[in-house]
Structure 1
Amino acid sequence: MAKDIRINNVERFAGFSMLYDENRPTPPNEVIRILTRYLSDKPQKLVDVGCGTGLSSFIWLGHADEIIGIEPNDDMRQVAIANWQAQQKPTTLRFENGLSHQLPFESATADIITCSQSFHWMDPQLTLKEFARVLQPGGVFAAYDCDWPPTFNKDVEESYRQLIALADARVNQLSSEEKQAYKWNKEQHLQQIRQSGLFSFSKEIVFHHWELCDANRYSNIALSQGGLQTALKLGADELLSLVTKFSNQVEEAFDGKPQEVLFSYRMRLGIK
């Protein structure tokens, strides 16, 4: 993939790292249970690629001997580092700048590589080749993503989808194709793993996690979507009134108290 698309994908996440970090769901314990089961041991070295603000890296504290979060976006990585410093810099964890197809590790040194909400922003075949190089024999790769919107009720979810669809349409109108980020199809992740020929076993796993969520956080999850943030950066100010309308709808639906919301995850897994 051309260099400018990789840059566009990295820059897409600039400017809203705190919003992202404070509202996106922390991956549930099921991620650890599934991957350690397939590895059949506690990982000595876990690499979390496209780790963003570190939500998907911190969950491994106490479950892996060494954890490295790789994140090319400076804003996201700085929040991860700040959170790491606030936890008194646990020595088993660190964050580094890097790209998925050029990892700063020797061959056959990682037990698990994860991509949480990030693999669709990476050139899949170049990335899988690099992951297979870095993984030890029997090592596990997992790309896992949330379904959006989180499950709550019909009216709120339809408004969420409409807001994001309108934002995506405005991005297409306000910027040329060569300046836009490129997203690979998540539905083809498993096919990409299998087509690479680099993994002896692969499958898709679906799991769910209930969380208490207040109205403000639910609204901010929508606001943290990259398409909406990109549209606002490009000057689609008319979306602000729609964001306010959506937030008011969510506030009314939540009836002034936290509600249980279901986050659904899809994991595509490959074992070297």
Structure 2
Amino acid sequence: MIEHIRMNNVQRFTGFGALYDENRPTAPHEVVKLLTTYLQRKPQTVVDVGCGTGLSSFLWLDEADYILGVEPSDDMRSVALAKWEAINKPDKLQFVSGLSHQLEVPSASVDILTCSQSFHWMEPQSTLREFARVLRPGGVFAAYDCDWPPAIDWTIEEQYLRINALGDTRAAELAQGEQQAFKWNKDEHLQNIRNSGLFRYSREIVFHHWETCDATRYVNIALSQGGLQTALKLGADELHEEVAAFRELVAQVFAGEERQILFSYRMRLGIV
């Protein structure tokens, strides 16, 4: 059963790697500052699990001796590799295929291990055991996520939530039972870390980051959500009308201008 869920979760992200990469927020530098503060030194090795298109991996290029991005989706990883090639293939950064509970990484070899917008797709018990195995004593694990939608205007935020709820509902209706993806509850991340008994200290940290955005990007952030994409791929054509209405509303709010939007983050971390 768990293996079916893992494969379905990987397949959920097929077909929209470029859309995801071009519109999702880049991990803010606060992540580096927070985690290196807890580590108390510059990390030698950072492993970014469920790294997607590398938005949370490239962040460490000037901050660690070696960075490994692990991503099971070929579609997502191909975008990361294309960006890696465009900056002349630095040896200190590598991207590989892999699953969170079976990392091809030596034991006690990792200083910082991160999951950006991804830990909720991983079975927590087997994953946390594997993370604790590869982390050095004193090493830091951090799962961090955005709150959706990004903050700017209540009218478009309300519609953002509405069309994504419709997407999730239609995806669940159209997918065959054995093909459905499964998300673990983000609100249980911290308790799962504590219940594992593998980390000597754990806590939650909340921070935020402002980014510039235009109407097209704001709409595309909504469209980059997996539930909506899955529903559209499975033939929920009625959602195109909903998306068109959302696009029109966002255009009215932005009025042809770029605006500042706020991404709020929640980080759950554990120290081995």
Interval containing the TM-score (normalised by the shorter chain)? over 0.9
Q: Residue 24 of structure 2 aligns with which residue?
A: 24
Structure 2 CA distance for aligned equivalents of residues 262 and 76 of structure 1: 25
Cα deviation for residue 175 of structure 1 reads 1.6
SS of the counterpart of 2:56? helix
SS in structure 2 of the partner of residue 55 of structure 1: coil
- Equivalent positions of 1:67-106 (< 5 A) are 67-106=67-106
| Alpha-carbon separation, structure 2, partners of 1:90 and 1:266 | 30
- How do 1:118-267 residues align onto structure 2 when only pairs under 5 Å count? 118-267=118-267
Distance 2:134 2:169 in 1: 38
Name structure 1 gaps, 5 residues minimum.
Answer: none
Aligned length in residues: 272
How do 1:103-122 residues align onto structure 2 when only pairs under 5 Å count? Answer: 103-122=103-122
1:121-144: per-residue Cα shift (whole Å, max 9, x none)? 000010000000000000000000
SS of aligned partner of 2:138:
strand
Match in the other structure for 2:35: 35
Shift of 1:177: 2.7
SS of alignment partner, residue 207 of structure 2: strand
The SS at the match of 1:85 is helix
CA distance in 1, matches of 2:162, 2:176: 22
Partners of 1:230 and 1:191 lie apart in 2 by 29
| Counterpart code for 1:142 | A
Structure 1, 172-181 or 144-153: larger mean CA deviation: 172-181
2:9: which partner in 1? 9
Q: Deviations over 1:9-50 (max 9, x none)?
A: 000000000000000000101000000000000000000000
CA deviations over 1:160-213 (Å, ceiling 9, x no partner): 000000111111211233211010000000000000000000000000001110
Q: Distance in 1 between matches of 2:251 and 2:30?
A: 30
Give, in whole Å, the separation in 1 of the partners of 2:183 and 2:240. 25
> Sequence identity of aligned pairs in percent?
65
* Counterpart code for 2:10: V
Q: In structure 2, how many angstroms separate the alpha carbons of the residues matched to 1:46 and 1:157?
A: 35
Per the TM alignment, residue 260 of structure 1 is displaced from its structure 2 partner at its CA by: 0.5
CA distance in 1, matches of 2:231, 2:239: 8
Question: What is the one-letter code of the residue matched to 1:76?
Answer: M
Q: CA deviation at 1:2?
A: 2.0
- Alignment correspondent of 2:66: 66
Between 222-231 and 240-249, report the one with greater CA deviation: 240-249
Aligned to 2:52: 52
What amino acid is aligned across from residue 49 of structure 1 in structure 2?
A: V
Structure 2: runs of 5 or more not aligned: none
Counterpart residue type for residue 118 of structure 2: S
